[in-house]
Structure 1
Amino acid sequence: MTISVFLVEDNPQIRANLIPALEDMGCATVVGTAESEGEAIGWLAHHKGLWDLAVVDFFLKEGTGVGVVRWCKGRN
């Protein structure tokens, strides 16, 4: 079973390293990325049912990862 992962990371170098690392595990596919809280919430809201796991950096250039996690609260 493949897990669809949404990655919230504002550092391009970390993001560039995390994507292949997650996909190399063989059970994860990165389906989207965002660099800010607003961008992440927008993507998640418009892609309901298309992601299983969000990997979230708490310290972002705009907003925080905490806001993203709060938005996810109660999601099935």
Structure 2
Amino acid sequence: MEYTVHTPSFRYHDLPYQDCLNKVGTVTLQDYRDDLVALIESLNQPPLLLGHSLGFLVAQMAAKKIEIDGMIFM
């Protein structure tokens, strides 16, 4: 069986530190959730979500909005 792995970053977290610092305070958890939901909607099938700490919280929030195949908490 083959799996495709996606490793999205939270909005602005892939920017250089100072740019991230200036922008990240304007983002809400709902924004992070909506970004993840948009990614999930672009996939061909419901994913298995894996998250740690804040990533798992956002995954839980997304799972309430869209179909997923399961979740793993790390």
Scaled by the length of structure 2, what TM-score is found?
0.39
Compare the two structures and name the one with the higher strand fraction. 1
Higher relative contact order (CA 8 A, sep 6+): 1
Larger Rg over CA atoms:
2
TM-score between the two structures when normalised by the length of structure 1: 0.39
